[in-house]
Amino acid sequence: MATQAESQQANTSYERRREAIQFFVEALDENLTLEMVQIPAGKFTMGSPETELERLDREGPQHDVQIEQFFMGQYPVTQAQWQFVAGVEQVERTLEANPSNFKGENHPVEQVSWYEAVEFCQRLSTHTGRNYGLPTEAEWEYACRTGTTTPFHFGNTITTEVANYNGSSYAGGPAGEPLKRTTPVDHFGIANAFGLCDMHGNVWEWCQDLWHKSYDHKITPSQDGVNLQQEQADHRVVRGGSWYSSPGKCRSASRFHFRPTTCESDLGFRVICKRP
């Protein structure tokens, strides 16, 4: 159980680790940056064991996936970052400058479709000269877990002291008071071992992949787990859960899907970059 003392200890440990974390900072303008954290190459077991509480069949069967090194946004894309990129040259589609329901420059952008998230990545790539995109769901889960096999990267349960979700109890942990809205992306000051924040809750995060109802179709582990087959081409994968979600939906292995045109007040994204 993640108590307040444990949360403070985790935050202190993160601050001590920060110098060892490899990252680069993308300067969008003089006062706005995008922090990208290095995710080292490695192999992990994707999915959840059948014994995990609130586990669904869509999270199995478990299988090994080899991931190549990449960089991932330390936080979900913020409204300030979105507004800046929405103001640069269009690639394929227009972007509304301020689409979010819960306003705040350092809150995650939400109410953006998968297509709009892709347009953001394309504009960011053109503006910076780097190759930005959405993570595959395998990359997302690998980055979230950081080698852990527990339901959450910080342990076997979750509390409202470490994440923004609906406050329900999980695995005997205490219930908490739901905020019923997004929080700033640095609100909890807690990161996983790779230095990533807000991987559980706040907003669902779009992934690159098309939706598949299980991993029965999985291709070889050497392909980063990407799924672009045409089983259900009108839905895309989302990960991480949100402020509205039950704790079970915020687990590392939990996966859901929306139509790529969907815009919700608990749906955002974060970006990856293969090379700095």
Instruction: List the chain domain ranges.
Output: 4-273
Whether domain 4-273 has CATH 3.40.1160.10: the reply is no
User: Strand 132-133's sheet: what is its strand order?
Assistant: 23-29, 32-39, 70-73, 272-273, 132-133
Instruction: Give the residues across from 152 on adjacent strands.
Output: 155
| Number of Cα atoms under 13 Å in the Cβ half of residue 244 | 7
Q: Which of 123, 129, 118, 112 is nearest to 208 (CA)?
A: 118
Q: What are phi and psi of 69, to 5 degrees?
A: -60, 140
Backbone dihedral region of 104: left (phi > 0), alpha (psi from -120 to 50 degrees) or beta?
left
112-166 pLDDT per residue, tens: 999 999 999 999 999 999 999 999 999 999 999 999 999 999 999 999 999 999 9
The per-residue pLDDT for 218 is 60
Hey, what are 127's tokens? 């503006």
Average pLDDT of each block of 10 consecutive residues along the chain (276 residues)? 46 49 92 97 98 96 97 99 98 98 99 99 97 98 98 97 98 96 97 97 98 77 50 84 98 98 99 91
Q: What is the pLDDT of residue 10?
A: 47
Q: Distance of alpha carbon 250 from its chain centroid, rounded?
A: 10
pLDDT of residue 26: 97
pLDDT of residue 16: 42
What is the model's pLDDT at position 216? 86
What does the block give as tokens for 55?
Answer: 């586990």
Q: Is residue 139 classed as helix, strand or coil in its secondary structure? A: helix
* Residue whose C-alpha is closest to residue 151's, from 42, 5, 43, 52: 52
Q: Is 166 helix (H, G, I), strand (E, B) or coil?
A: coil
Both tokens of 99, joined, read 């689409």
pLDDT at 21: 77
How many CB atoms neighbour CB 108 within 10 A? 32
